[in-house]
């Protein structure tokens, strides 16, 4: 989307939060919501919400608010959630199994198309409706099932090798959970989730919270 190249990463990172909030409002039966209501739920300045949305078009009606279902659909389209991406998870340890069983992935429109591991003990077992397959056949299965996103849930020592295999197989995007910085071509977007970094940051804020107020004050750890 060439016209959106100037949009900041911070704005893009807030879009999934808007989408999740709108989905919750839909579940609650709310049809119209103001930027003030969204801001209250998300702890984001309403002006910032209006500014973020303005990058992508005109939404809502002045003096009325946003039509929740319409805005949710629009943001879902901006995020590409209407494309129904096929996903493969590599690594069936505790984290990989948890991700494979996470229903939120399917609810966002992602389809778990394959699960891979190198351990003969794990290969052939089932996780939900999927059978764990041998990583030796990764390239063949990715092409056969038109898989676009690879999720890396292997130990750090093996993550780069898995990333290289995914790139060679023609994967289009990578979601990395291994605590290591990956080297991938610039043409392949990837997101890293380092759980140790998040916990360490939380530990820092807890350590530096004053005993008097007993809270994190203005520290918003989720952006």
The tokens for 123 are: 């290969």
Residue 223: Cβ-neighbour burial (10 angstroms; 0-12, 13-18, 19+): exposed
User: If you ran DSSP here, which 8-state letter would residue 61 be given?
Assistant: B
- Spatial distance between the Cα atoms of 179 and 181, rounded to a whole number of angstroms: 7
- Spatial distance between the Cα atoms of 114 and 78, rounded to a whole number of angstroms: 26
Between the alpha carbon of residue 110 and those of residues 80, 101, 104, 118, the distances in Å are 10, 13, 9, 24
Q: What secondary structure does DSSP assign to 71-86, as a single string?
A: HHHHHHHHHTGGG--E
92 carries a ligand binding annotation: yes
95 carries a ligand binding annotation: yes
User: Diameter of the chain by CA atoms?
Assistant: 62
93 carries a ligand binding annotation: yes
Contact 120, 147 (CB under 8 A): no
91 carries a ligand binding annotation: yes
Residue 86: Cβ-neighbour burial (10 angstroms; 0-12, 13-18, 19+): middle
Binding residues for NAD(+): 91-96
Binding residues: 91-96
């Amino acid at each position: 989307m060439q016209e959106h190249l100037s949009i900041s990463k911070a704005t893009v990172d807030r879009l999934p939060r808007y989408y999740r909030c709108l989905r919750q409002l839909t579940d609650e039966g709310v049809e119209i919501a103001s930027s003030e209501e969204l801001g209250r739920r998300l702890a984001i300045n309403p002006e910032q919400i209006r500014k973020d949305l303005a990058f992508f078009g005109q939404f809502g009606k002045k003096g009325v608010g946003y039509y929740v279902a319409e805005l949710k659909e629009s943001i879902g389209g901006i995020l590409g959630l209407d494309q129904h991406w096929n996903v493969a998870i590599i690594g069936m340890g505790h984290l990989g199994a948890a991700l494979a069983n996470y229903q939120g992935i399917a609810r966002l429109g992602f389809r778990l198309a394959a699960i891979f591991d190198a351990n003969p003990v794990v290969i052939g077992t089932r996780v939900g409706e999927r059978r764990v397959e041998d990583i030796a056949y990764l390239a063949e299965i990715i092409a056969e099932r038109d898989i676009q996103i690879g999720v890396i849930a292997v130990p750090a020592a093996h993550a780069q090798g898995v990333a290289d295999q995914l790139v060679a197989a023609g994967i289009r995007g990578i979601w990395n959970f291994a605590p290591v910085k990956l080297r991938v071509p610039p043409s392949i977007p990837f997101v890293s989730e380092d759980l140790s970094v998040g916990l360490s940051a939380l530990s820092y804020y807890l350590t530096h919270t004053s005993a008097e107020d007993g809270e994190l004050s203005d520290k918003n750890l989720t952006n």
